[in-house]
Amino acid sequence: MRVVVKIGSSSIVGEDGEVRSQVLDNLGSQLSKILRDGHEVALVTSGAIALGRALLTEKLVPFSGRIGSDLPTLQAISGVGQSRLMHYWDGTLQGHGLIGAQILLAPLDFMNRQQYLHARATLARLFSLRIIPVINENDAIADEEIRFGDNDRLAALVAHLVSADLLVLLTDTPGLMTTDPHIRHDASLIEEVVEVDRQLEELAGGTVSQIGSGGMASKLAAAKMASWSGTKVVIAASWRAHILEEAVEGENVVGTVIHAKPHRLSARKLWIAFAVGSKGVVVVDEGARKAVIEKGTSLLPAGVLGVKGDFDANDPVEVANEQGEVFAKGLVRYSSGMVELWAGKHSSIIPNELGEEVIHRDDLVLLV
């Protein structure tokens, strides 16, 4: 079995900025066990910014109040913290007879076909050598407009990249809860999810931790991405002694299990559907909705009723019916102004050299 394990900042670094060595050691022990059992594992880890901030605050005491949260500062902090993060992981893995390899990824590694293939080949070779890829976003040079935003999403993309059978998202709660356990003591664990729907997404809420950037909403979004990739997902507590073994064996798992969908999206369509934010909405009539869903057609201007938002050609947009229900997402071929100008008109009005589709079916992903 090929497994991707993701652990967040709040599980690795305490509120005091110190590393939770017991959590790392526990995870190192489990990684060693599942590798000995013949499985392949990639580790996606957060914590660089948290560790970098803690070190700079300690060492630059007179200036600690000036350490801000603007992007260049966070990138500088990440550069400081990444080496510390790998130092701790190297020590942990070596302590359990394992070897780790630092892999820093950026969104372009998934968007560019050649870089995607290079990344996949590198990870495959590491697996064959029984080396654990220790993966993080390349925060120090990430573009503000093109970045993962959190490592839950990165982990889901890595799971797709390596065709993982299982994605384990380790967090500071037992799994997906019926309500926020930090606020309500009567919160109970949701043990199994067949389909990630809007009700579940609303239930997940936002981030609570002051250390991490994700939260349960982020993990559920990542789980949805992975399940659409054909990967089973387990959301569970990072402190559980045998959680990875339980997840791999698929028995007595204390956490939330999200089942994989039977049909796997291509890497490009997965990126369009989940990894890039929508810049607007194209509203269509019922005929266009049925044609897209039932016949798999491209979206033509005749079925468009209007647009919401301001977007440019090749931007990602949602496609919704008149009631506002989003059923697809794609890369639009024209700006919002041009789509609105051509809405409801026959494709023949579009100059031949531009192409008749508002969104071509190769750039369109059904979300229902």
Q: What is the pLDDT of residues 39-93, one digit of tens each?
A: 999 999 999 988 988 888 776 655 555 666 777 888 888 899 999 999 999 999 9
Mean pLDDT of 307-323: 94
Does CATH place domain 2-269 in 3.40.1160.10?
Answer: yes
Mean pLDDT of 171-184: 78
pTM of the predicted structure, to 2 decimals = 0.82
Q: What are phi and psi of 172, to 5 degrees?
A: -100, 20
Residue 187 has pLDDT above 80, yes or no: no
At 235-250, the pLDDT tens digits run 999 988 899 999 999 8
Tell me if 205 sits within 8 A of 43, measured CB to CB: no
Strand partners, 233: 167, 258
Residues 6+ apart with CB under 8 A from 186: 179
Pair of tokens at residue 172: 């500071």
Mean pLDDT of 154-177: 91
pLDDT at 347: 79
CATH class of the structural domain 277-366 = mainly beta
Domain boundaries, the chain: 2-269, 277-366
pLDDT at 42: 98
In 64-165, DSSP assigns E strands to 100-105, 132-137
pLDDT at 148: 57
